[in-house]
Structure 1
Amino acid sequence: MASVGAQQGNGEENVIMSLPKERGWGAAPYFYLFQDFWCPSNYIQGVFNFQKFFQTKEDDVFVASFPKSGTTWLKALTFAIVKRQHFASVENHPLLTSIPHALVPSPELTMDADIYDQIGHLSQMTEPRVVATHIPYPSLPKSIMESSSRIIYICRNPFDTFVSAWTFSSKANSASSASLTLEEAFEMFCKGIVYFGPWWSHMLSYWQESKTNPNKVLFLKYEDLKEDINFQVKRIAEFLGCPFSEEEESNGVMESIIKLCSFEKMKDLDVNKFGSHFKIIDNKHFFRKAEIGDWINYFSPSMVEKLSKVIEQKLSGSGLSFKIQY
């Protein structure tokens, strides 16, 4: 955080120090309550810089998500759909040799000390650019909201989201993760203290915008993708203004994309089995189970009751709900 402060003064540092903070998860020593969401201490400078310096292009596509809600899958699908004219054959597709997070970067996770390098990298990406973010809708850079760029948002039922977040953070190379028990993490999650949380306000911010401005935000649920991937892939392509033609459908283009981006295919690739992302966590940990209902192996009856009440209270009247498989 000091590098940008040295260039621009210590305003950001002073703001950060004055924010409420809580114990963090995984590789984040602390979470700061920044603009009404809990921002990991190791990413807060990147969020500042993303908001200040990112310049949106009109044909940009953004993959927005609450962490551990199917982000990796949606990144792969969106990239393959948008770029399908560039890579006619899946045999030489970039997804075979690069983890989706490298092909679809998240500026707030990287725009820290190397901000100017990142700006250069983003400006050189082949258009249309596909970029990702975990930031809640109200805190996105103004240039995103004021442009004609489009946002695809994905969320997941909070039960599975919690389990995925806890197991993922416990594998990060951090001493704090080892001391964060399931019970401690659960209490924090129920209070909304989690990466880019509260999870309910994060989901609702994109949910409400998708209702107000359906041409700007497409709202997806992880469970819906699992239930009918063909329908959802068509829906994504149509939303982005690049629907599959009859010829593409008859030639199996959509099916090849779905297969290329499937959990089984991606998990078995060497690039996703070895190496690490941001030198924090092994690539293989981005591909755990991809199951619906795995939470039942972790939750006690009292935990089920408590989280159910939180969901009912926080989402009441919004029209947003989840099918929870007991």
Structure 2
Amino acid sequence: MDPKELPPNVRDDKISEETKKLISSLPSHTDSQGQKLCKYQGCWYYYNTLQGVLNFQSGFQPQDTDIILASYPKSGTTWLKALTVALLGRSKNHSSSNDHPLLYDNPHGIVPFLEIDVYHESSSPNLDNFSATPRLFSTHMPLHAMQETLKQSPCKIVYVCRNLKDTLFSTWLFACAIFKIEPTRSILDSMFKSLCNGTIFYGPFWDHLLSYWRGSFKDPKHVLFMRYEEMKAEPHEQIKRHADFLGCPFTKQEEESGVVDKILDLCSLRNLSSLEVNKTGKVNNVDHKNFFRKGEVGDSKNYLTTEMENKIDMIIQEKLQSSGLNF
């Protein structure tokens, strides 16, 4: 596969000499697709992603009204972005009109990743496209990777997590789609091994999860912890919780007129995947259609072996014990 066809976070064409020197001193690992990762500040990154993280850490200047949507990869990121865009767009009367941004762009095109998109090439990118307030960004970085940069900032962070089994299964299919390879059992087994020993992209999963879980207790006004499974089970309650946190709660009139239902319908997998913009086009060399599959809870049980499920359960129980967080 032509390296130029890979997503920017996987390619290694934008790495500075200074970063190359840093990488040479870091623990390294090669994933199931033959791509190299390194461990920086406790988290595993592809080389280009690390460059974006470093650029962000040295150059990002937060504004008080910024909103950052955070997640571990394949944990409900696309849905969270769509819901947030729709929530914030209510004041522009988009929720029932034909000019809603979600009808004309993929959620990942509307809400770019800090380390993969915005700061991918430079620590001082042109942010003219983010003149609107609030600025809306996303990230897969763990919270501790952003804490120094966001120190003293009242900007808000919304984190969504998902059951690790479904996350693994979704990551497997997504990675194979990106690399245009058959989703074989051997690749799934390799990813499972990397996940369990913590060397998977943006892993270890449990450290990522706990950084936001603890952050939500330490600073609940600025870090909201959401769970994909709860968003699926009780969408009305969770979207209202989301809106309250962002400072744009639903009014009684909005609830009575069905605005909550309209937003949930607009942002549903069924609707988003049926839009022409999400059937065609790309963002970061990834086809829009690859961001939409089933979105079901527990679908991984049809693919993971009993041994895999039991090992993941054992690891999560061990890593999350005494944290108060359960799956």
Contact 1:223 1:292 (C-alpha < 8 Å) held by counterparts? yes
Partner residue of 2:25 out of 11, 15, 18: 18
- Equivalent position SS for 1:13: helix
Partner residue of 2:35 out of 29, 42, 54: 29
Please report how far the alpha carbon of residue 115 of structure 1 lies from its aligned counterpart in structure 2 after TM superposition. Answer: 5.5
Residue pairs, 1:1-326, within 5 angstroms = 5=16, 10-24=17-31, 29-88=35-94, 89-110=96-117, 111-113=119-121, 116=124, 118-121=125-128, 124-140=130-146, 142-173=148-179, 181-279=187-285, 281-322=286-327
Q: Distance in 1 between matches of 2:99 and 2:233?
A: 29
Query: Alpha-carbon deviations, 1:13-47, whole Å to 9, x = none?
Result: 21012111111355x81111011001122311111
Q: Distance in 2 between matches of 1:178 and 1:80?
A: 37
Q: Distance in 2 between matches of 1:54 and 1:185?
A: 32
- State the AA in 2 paired with 1:98: D
- Equivalent position SS for 1:90: coil
Contact 1:90 1:256 (C-alpha < 8 Å) held by counterparts? no
Contact 1:22 1:30 (C-alpha < 8 Å) held by counterparts? yes
Contact 2:13 2:48 (C-alpha < 8 Å) held by counterparts? no
- Equivalent position SS for 1:83: helix
Is the deviation greater in 174-183 or in 164-173? 174-183
Q: Distance in 2 between matches of 1:286 and 1:153?
A: 18
Please report how far the alpha carbon of residue 247 of structure 1 lies from its aligned counterpart in structure 2 after TM superposition. Answer: 1.8
Q: Distance in 2 between matches of 1:105 and 1:51?
A: 16
* Normalised TM-score (structure 2): 0.90
Query: Alpha-carbon deviations, 1:232-251, whole Å to 9, x = none?
Result: 01001111111011122222
Q: Distance in 2 between matches of 1:2 and 1:275?
A: 23
Q: Distance in 1 between matches of 2:297 and 2:185?
A: 27
- Equivalent position SS for 2:178: coil
Identity, % of aligned positions: 39
- State the AA in 1 paired with 2:31: G
What is the root-mean-square deviation of aligned Cα atoms in Å? 2.1
Please report how far the alpha carbon of residue 142 of structure 1 lies from its aligned counterpart in structure 2 after TM superposition. Answer: 2.9
Please report how far the alpha carbon of residue 176 of structure 1 lies from its aligned counterpart in structure 2 after TM superposition. Answer: 11
Q: Distance in 1 between matches of 2:216 and 2:296?
A: 26
Contact 2:31 2:37 (C-alpha < 8 Å) held by counterparts? yes
Please report how far the alpha carbon of residue 175 of structure 1 lies from its aligned counterpart in structure 2 after TM superposition. Answer: 7.2
Q: Distance in 1 between matches of 2:311 and 2:237?
A: 34
- Paired residues in the alignment total 314
Query: Alpha-carbon deviations, 1:162-202, whole Å to 9, x = none?
Result: 10111111111367988961111111111112221100000
Q: Distance in 1 between matches of 2:137 and 2:257?
A: 28
- State the AA in 1 paired with 2:21: N
Change (3 A) 1:145 1:79: farther
- Equivalent position SS for 1:43: helix
* Normalised TM-score (structure 1): 0.90
Query: Alpha-carbon deviations, 1:252-287, whole Å to 9, x = none?
Result: 2222111110110001111111122211x2111110
Change (3 A) 1:145 1:257: farther
- State the AA in 2 paired with 1:252: G
Query: Alpha-carbon deviations, 1:61-104, whole Å to 9, x = none?
Result: 11010110000000110111122212444321000110000111
Question: Which 5+ residue runs of structure 2 have no aligned equivalent?
Answer: 1-11
- Equivalent position SS for 2:150: helix
Q: Distance in 2 between matches of 1:213 and 1:228?
A: 24
Change (3 A) 1:45 1:178: farther
- State the AA in 1 paired with 2:20: E
Q: Distance in 1 between matches of 2:20 and 2:277?
A: 37
Is the deviation greater in 186-195 or in 229-238? 186-195
